[in-house]
Structure 1
């Protein structure tokens, strides 16, 4: 009977062992295995010392139960001893200790080897064999970091190569559990190809997936349906790529939600289709973020600041961030510009970028111009200073062209504030 596929590696591996048994043990073992392993060989076979390892390998692969079985066989063999001729030395006069075992190259019956049990985990090994064992580190059952699982997960390894920052993802337990269950070929590869077809570059995938790891839980057909919907609203492929890059969660929302958001901004702001589309292209987070800040800011512009609806439309189409800006920041900026700098509504409407500037920068420059007597914001008067130039140009240009002073004077003035 031939060796099974599992037993062949064990039988071949046993040949590599280098330990030897003494002559008395070898003779007893030879007598027990004579009928099953040496059928067709002479009663006094010869074997070179180089091949003794084969027999030692067979012996080492016996389990403790096999050893107990052999002990009982020895007891029965003592009651019924074998023929005296089997215990005699070889014909050439060699002693039993010098007797050699058949070569491994000889035609040995493998029927006995097929019944050998696997190596017992309790089987003793030599120190030399022990130091050659390389064990993989165990997979931690619980961990607070994905770093412990990278060596065990092909998916995590490839995500790291793509530039995904696992230290940010692992802050979300649901994300860690999701990634550890995914197969790269089945669950991730097609999503990556979809993003590539959409227009994302290789160096952009890492940042995108770090922010939107949840896209791996989305159905690929649903993602394509959402892209088709945006195209049906006359968003170009370039526009969609730009929107997805700025708002990574855009494609995670259903077609119904995207349609409701577009309808809300068109109706609430009273914009036509083209202006609504341009607004979304410049700030695609309007489709993914909460609508509460938008509704609140619209009330602030109308009721607290006193802007008309058409003035609000003009400002938000120029600076879409005004829709999602912090209410407190908006209020402080308007109060200082309108009530301290005495700039009227119609001028603020022309330069809405004032709401997108840090208040301390506006204060520093206005106070310096007021100190020099150049704080003049009326377009019809000499030495007019536009709000756009006030907040947009660098300090050196501001000092040279608007303040007509040196940068050193401006820095000394700031120390007095």
Structure 2
């Protein structure tokens, strides 16, 4: 068996040594005399491959069983010339050690049947390809390149280490856990290049006066600002400045209403015109309420229209009273309708506060119902619930809702904080 395999390799030395490979395969096979082969330098003499140098022979103590394969053409020649080869290879000593620089393929025992699939192997597949070898387009498309970025994930956390954009956004304070909950935002961020898509927007925000500490909040609330065109962003800022908004107002508005710069100049102009016409305010008053509550330019107009009707029809305020309330507390335009009606009902029907006093101190409409209720009931228990400025022991609604508990007790209720806490337990 060993002699047959040796002669086969000698006959096809030109084919085997023509393939350049980057590494030598180790192999071991079972000879009838259990000889172990080791690696030594190779020298070709007289058309045959003979090993020169140290020769090591070890007697195997255990018999190994390994499957051996051969290719179709090699097997045919091997079976045809086995008798002749045996005589030619007897000259090799049993202690000779053979090493091949080409990949040594396991062969199949001639006595074992060879299947059709095993005989269809190609010898060229055994040799490693050169990295400079040209390949076809089909082969190039079939090559799969392993990627360290996971193909799919439910969290942006898995991409932070591989994505420069995500890692820089985290350093800016962007809350990725919030953005990944929004559809398509995560994939959008992964497609952005930090130097070409993100950095120019950050520089723009800095130029218009936005603080560096606000970048994370703005992008967390409005990641789509990173996809806006710089020319469009600049045109919207220029429009706001043309409407007498100062640079400080614009920076503050963008920080508190991050979606502001996503809207076109036409939409911003329509929103300003709506508030000026609906409330019948001057341009300066309109600018004032928008600067203090910039989300009026971003949100839906339906809640605003509904609250204006509530003030006029359900609560019974006059037009000039509504104007005064809105200019003083713009937040009432977007307040919850149910909370607004509950607060007015308690002030007007329980505390007996007339419309003109509520108009004079509209901050009370923006207070917590529980806070107003507890304080009024405590003053009523002490006999000091008097809110009419024309009567003695008058308590201003402004101080009534704005003072902390301790000051409220000592200055308005003339009681201790402990008494107020004990009274709250009785409610």
Same fold (TM over 0.5): yes
For residue 176 of structure 2, the aligned residue among 161, 166, 178 is 166
Shift of 1:201: 2.5
CA distance in structure 2 between the partners assigned to 1:381 and 1:350 by the alignment: 17
CA distance in structure 2 between the partners assigned to 1:179 and 1:158 by the alignment: 11
**SS state at 2:184 partner:** helix
For residue 290 of structure 2, the aligned residue among 280, 285, 306 is 280
Structure 1: tracts of 5 or more residues without a match? 1-7, 36-42, 50-64, 90-94, 103-115, 121-134
Describe the shift of the 1:44–1:241 C-alpha distance in structure 2 as closer, same or farther (beyond 3 A). Answer: same
Describe the shift of the 1:416–1:119 C-alpha distance in structure 2 as closer, same or farther (beyond 3 A). Answer: farther
Shift of 1:289: 0.5
Q: Which residue of 1 aligns with 2:225?
A: 215
Q: How does 1:122-161 map to 2 (within 5 A)?
A: 139-141=150-152, 143-161=153-171
Shift of 1:147: 2.1
Shift of 1:197: 1.8
CA distance in structure 2 between the partners assigned to 1:365 and 1:412 by the alignment: 13
Residues 169-201 of structure 1: CA deviation (Å, up to 9, x unaligned)? 111122112112222222222122222222222
Describe the shift of the 1:334–1:118 C-alpha distance in structure 2 as closer, same or farther (beyond 3 A). Answer: same
**SS state at 2:299 partner:** coil
Q: Which residue of 2 aligns with 1:92?
A: none
Rg (Cα) greater in structure: 2
Q: Which residue of 2 aligns with 1:263?
A: 273
For residue 188 of structure 2, the aligned residue among 161, 172, 178 is 178
CA distance in structure 1 between the partners assigned to 2:392 and 2:347 by the alignment: 20
1:47/1:101 contact within 8 Å kept: no
CA distance in structure 2 between the partners assigned to 1:183 and 1:341 by the alignment: 60
CA distance in structure 1 between the partners assigned to 2:53 and 2:172 by the alignment: 60
Q: Which residue of 2 aligns with 1:363?
A: 373
Instruction: Indicate yes or no: 2:128 matched with 1:117.
Output: yes
CA distance in structure 2 between the partners assigned to 1:259 and 1:211 by the alignment: 23
Describe the shift of the 1:118–1:163 C-alpha distance in structure 2 as closer, same or farther (beyond 3 A). Answer: farther
Shift of 1:347: 1.1
Residues 236-290 of structure 1: CA deviation (Å, up to 9, x unaligned)? 2111110011101000111111010011011111111111111110000000001
**SS state at 2:393 partner:** coil
Structure 2: tracts of 5 or more residues without a match? 1-19, 30-34, 56-68, 102-126, 132-145
CA distance in structure 2 between the partners assigned to 1:355 and 1:68 by the alignment: 92
Q: How does 1:246-261 map to 2 (within 5 A)?
A: 246-261=256-271
Q: Which residue of 2 aligns with 1:54?
A: none
Describe the shift of the 1:358–1:47 C-alpha distance in structure 2 as closer, same or farther (beyond 3 A). Answer: farther
Instruction: Indicate yes or no: 2:391 matched with 1:384.
Output: no
Describe the shift of the 1:263–1:46 C-alpha distance in structure 2 as closer, same or farther (beyond 3 A). Answer: farther
Describe the shift of the 1:397–1:186 C-alpha distance in structure 2 as closer, same or farther (beyond 3 A). Answer: same
**SS state at 1:152 partner:** coil
Residues 323-359 of structure 1: CA deviation (Å, up to 9, x unaligned)? 1111111111111111111111111111000011011
1:45/1:101 contact within 8 Å kept: no
CA distance in structure 1 between the partners assigned to 2:54 and 2:251 by the alignment: 75
2:41/2:52 contact within 8 Å kept: no
2:149/2:159 contact within 8 Å kept: no
**Which of the two has greater helix per residue?**
1
CA distance in structure 2 between the partners assigned to 1:325 and 1:139 by the alignment: 45
CA distance in structure 1 between the partners assigned to 2:297 and 2:241 by the alignment: 15
Query: Which sits farther off after the overlay, 203-212 or 398-407?
Result: 203-212
Q: How does 1:95-106 map to 2 (within 5 A)?
A: 97=97
1:47/1:100 contact within 8 Å kept: no
**SS state at 1:151 partner:** coil
Q: Which residue of 2 aligns with 1:404?
A: 414
**SS state at 1:173 partner:** coil
CA distance in structure 1 between the partners assigned to 2:215 and 2:53 by the alignment: 66
Residues 206-230 of structure 1: CA deviation (Å, up to 9, x unaligned)? 1211111111222222111111111
2:165/2:194 contact within 8 Å kept: yes
Shift of 1:29: 9.2
2:387/2:397 contact within 8 Å kept: yes
Shift of 1:88: 9.7
CA distance in structure 2 between the partners assigned to 1:226 and 1:45 by the alignment: 84
Q: Which residue of 2 aligns with 1:332?
A: 342
- Aligned residues: CA RMSD: 4.0
